[in-house]
Amino acid sequence: MKNYKYTFINIKACTLVALLLMMNACTKDFESFNTDTNSISDEQLKVDFNNIGAFFPSIQNAFTTNNMIPMDIGEFLTGGAFAGYFMFPNPGANNTNYSMLEGWAGYGMFGVGYNAIMSPVNEIKRRGAEASAPDFWAVALILKVYGMHKVTDIYGPVPYTKFGQGGTTVPYDSQQEIYNTFFSELDVASKALQDYIVKFPGAKPFSKFDNIYAGDYSQWLRFANSLRLRLAMQIVKVAPDIAKAQAEKAVDPLNGGVFTANEHNAFVKGGSNALYIASQIWGDIRGNAALISCMNGYSDPRLSKYYDPSTIVPGEYVGIRTGSNIQARGDMLKFSNVAAASFVQATPTELMTAAEVYFLRAEGALRGWNMGGTSVKELYEEGISTSLTQWGVGGDAPGYINNDIRKPANYTDPLLPAQNAPAVSDLSVKWDEAATNEQKLERIIIQKWISDFPDGTCAWSTFRRTGYPRLFPVAVNNSGGEISTAIQIRRMNYPGSEYVTNAAEVAKGVTLLGGPDNGGTRLWWDIAGPNF
């Protein structure tokens, strides 16, 4: 993990530039700052919390292409494909056909997690934010937990609790310990924000550093609680009692509430949208057959918001099946691309939405938890209508919610008929109170999956945990038997650089993983078997 140190030097350099520009903008002494950058003292940087605040834009930009390799690009090429959202249009060996090449394994996720999130958060801590600005520290913890829960949910055990304590290597933690730490860190963050809101109502000292909520701590508190709910649900099969307690704590209104409306959604504003770059500029993303076939079958009004019609079958939405036997890139570029009107360079980057929270609450209520006093059906339907409203088609919600005829469609490959696939679910959208709990959960998760787009890691994690939505199996499996075509991929391999710079500790990490370092090994929370 020595490479983390070197990258952080660049982060600190970029931060200094940001500080200079910011200080220049708010002082009359422009010329002196412009001619003598060394004149900025530690005391001057403490004014308006610039000494710690200037790190936050770079942390938030870990999710956009303001960062050199944003986390989201790694998500599109890993979780986004495995969750049935995207496909890689190029021929040859890659993640989507389970070749698990090293260049793909480390791209965007592991490195960005430590270089662009853990390192600056550690620097914020080193500068005393816990004591001097607990409200700023609260936001740092929320961003840290958000970013790193995706890293651990992709790889399993990773360095976390001992990161930044010195030395040339960093120990790995079990995923169970990491999740316990997540909940403890969210406790600290929520308490600090609640205390600050009571003591300084309406104050927004964080506003100039905040590309998500413009300094509104009540929104950050909702984000912390909503994130807690997501994490709680992820461990429901392995630690059901903890999951229930954490979920009920999350939705307790006395703790600040969760997302209940689209104005609560967490989006990073500014920078370049990573999905726009990957799909429109690089041309390395196309729509996946799984989601497009499902939305085609439901006549889902969000389909045109997510994808553009193909030219391979003009005017129709056609995706590429995961792991397809691709012969020529030019042919695959004719399949449906990500919707150009929805994802432009300035489109804010989605972190979490109210629609997802409604579906998480619906699942919790199905399990008998206290999720706010409304029925499973009401939470399920509110999740759908909130998502449709988010995408500008809220007027279609009543007809969509009450449709008990349309079902996910079969997949027809216009180039390779051998890759055709029958629909994997026969559930309509309309709620059925007489269904089994597994059928009710599948219905909830199908709609959660549709609404979570384009958050591939979130959707892939839910698929691994629940088995829903049912996805077309990979068309070509190049794993040599390491990954089951039926069960599908469960995790990513550790980057090869870890075996060079952190060899002894990554070996311990594999021991904590409980299986070989390959895509067929299940994570701690990924328990086989029924959901109830």
**pLDDT tens per residue, range 110-160:** 888 999 999 999 999 999 999 999 999 999 999 999 999 999 999 999 999
The residues near 92 (Cβ < 8 Å, ≥ 6 apart) are 326
Q: Cα separation of 230 and 261, whole Å?
A: 17
Give the chain's domain count.
1
Asked if residues 425 and 360 have their Cβ atoms less than 8 Å apart, the reply is no
What does the block give as tokens for 315? 């005017």
The pair of structure tokens assigned to 96 is 């989507």
Residue 309 has pLDDT above 80, yes or no: yes
**Pick the residue with more confidence: 290 or 18?**
290
- Position 40 pLDDT exceeds 70: no
Cα 423 from Cα 377, distance rounded (Å): 25
Mean pLDDT of all residues in 419-430: 97
Regarding beta strands 86-87 and 286-287, do their DSSP bridges make them parallel or antiparallel, or are they unpaired?
antiparallel
pLDDT at 312 over 70: yes
Identify the pLDDT of residue 71. Answer: 60
The owner of tokens 């909830």 is: 444
Tokens of 87: 């496909």
Rounded to whole angstroms, the Cα distance separating 232 from 224 reads 12
Residue 97's contacts (CB-CB under 8 Å, 6 or more residues apart) are 323, 324, 474, 475, 476, 477, 478
Lowest-pLDDT range of 6-10, 57-61, 392-396: 6-10
Residue 26, pLDDT above cutoff 70: no
pLDDT at residue 518 above 50? yes
Note the pLDDT of residue 143. 98
**Which of the four pLDDT bands, split at 50, 70 and 90, describes residue 75?**
confident
413-418 contact pairs (CB < 8 A, 24+):
413/289, 413/321, 413/324, 414/312, 414/313, 414/318, 415/312, 415/327, 415/331, 416/324, 416/325
Sequence-distant (≥ 6) Cβ neighbours of residue 511 within 8 angstroms: none
- More confident position, 109 or 449: 449
For residue 117, what pLDDT is reported? 95
State the CATH number of the domain containing residue 517. 1.25.40.390
pLDDT for res 44: 46
The answer, yes or no, to whether the previous bond of 469 is cis (omega within 30 of 0) is: yes
Exposed/middle/buried for residue 32 (C-beta within 10 Å: 0-12, 13-18, 19+): exposed
Q: pLDDT at position 286, please?
A: 97
Q: What per-residue confidence (pLDDT) applies to 394?
A: 98
| Enclosing domain of residue 455 | 1-532
- pLDDT over 80 at 53, yes or no: yes
Query: Which residue, among 79, 158, 159, has the nearest Cα to 524 in the 3D structure?
Result: 158
